[in-house]
Structure 1
């Protein structure tokens, strides 16, 4: 799941997409051991900051600090949005610059193709002229001085490059350009229904690949846009927690609401972006299940769901003959808050044994 608390740099608001979350990691071995103790083998890390702060990374907890093993250094482009005009302007500016870069490259390629065509036609014309000149000069003496000058001028001309080289793109624009072209996925971070509507306003008719990450507090109104989000067919990440309807003490099981609305790709992250949030992850999920969330779908949403979001579903796929053997063994029902991780296995190797580690 998401573990943004692992990134240590402080970075403000703006376009900083040249950075990856892996650039901001400096972890103690104790933190990595704590994650293994909770059954976490892979963790998605977000770049700090807001606006377009950079790209997410995936690390393995079965490694040593301060620089843990990075499984995927450059994964998704992170974009945050709120209701402020400043926030929307950063995204609009990114679209404008990316679309401008695409147009600039298109014109440059057209010019390159035209130069190639003109060069080929000129070479054919000169070949024909040379052939005619040779036949006309048959039996004559040496070439005139003007002919020699013309041949020298032709020799100085250079053909256009054999391979097209697109114009250079600024490092902070390159990941955005890749997203606009459909070459990478963006994670859109929102807090409420209004921000979803603001996002729809900003993106317009564009259909660039994306998933949406909601980080709402105890009160939320996202159920109001659940059907629209489901119709968009995008992957959704929600906090694993019960919430309240606005201005009431009426509880809402938002993950169950989203599944009922038709969301097919759901992942549930710790409600609190902290190590304590990871420790409470299963207990919070158990509460959601007690309040109506389907048990199997809930368990998938904290295992294969996040793995798919992180692009590492092959590492946590269902056990199959010849397939990767990465799994967690609990000493009881995983949704029993007192159950503990007995073993954590990564590709057939035990990387956490509670009896050995904790005595």
Structure 2
């Protein structure tokens, strides 16, 4: 048996936990080159997983080393994030490889807290990430990101916003464009136009992912996003409560009707753990997200506890992933973010836009 075939066979049963399929089936084995003294093996994961690479390297070496027949192993293991198919095959945005929408069928389920922590988790795993607060009427990300009151984006050439940096993210929010004393009182079309303007007139720079924190529900802003912005995938946030799950199902169905793939569901406030005795109690019910997952082919990407610390850290401007990066809650967010990005990496490749051509005379 040729060594290349043997190596492929040895990696065909190596399944990274976040990915759910083997390296060969995922297309991660890019190159196997044999010489008299060396075997060069190039493996590229399609999602950010910096914290998992050392263990994966060890697992690959364990499988491949017995096949080397005296050769040295030159293992080039890394990550390459590509654009993935958006609805109706729209080309990706300039400077943004993948837009991921974070949505909920109803308010009060912790969607914005989830969105900011997922964005920070992707960044912690090595990705270049932006966060757009698309909740035009109730923007909360400036507070969650700890931006000082009165923070405004720099404007370039009179019509382009420069993203506001926060915890390593490129961010933009209506909360940075209006004051707390000036509520946004707009009809749907104007709000939808504001979303399009913030998305397209912000000078995002070389992003692997742009996380869009949508307002709750299935209204004008969600439809505008589906019609005008290339969305590679969506995540629906819910609680185990029956009424929340019913609304989450509506969100899943909405994305499917507009040809946006649903990457999965994040179950928030799944269990309360008593800080005094450790007793676990499912205040909002149990098992609903799993049932929904099976029925709608939308896997549960992660299950977060009802935690006072998560709420306090978000309200205090330092979300959990950066406030306590080694905590159990931060690890759940990072696991969830990797699963989300890994599932996206298995979808069909998308198109890159043609660069703008400027003719000078």
Scaled by the length of structure 1, what TM-score is found?
Answer: 0.31
- Larger RCO (CA under 8 A, 6+ residues apart): 2
Larger radius of gyration: 1
Give 1 or 2: higher helix fraction.
1
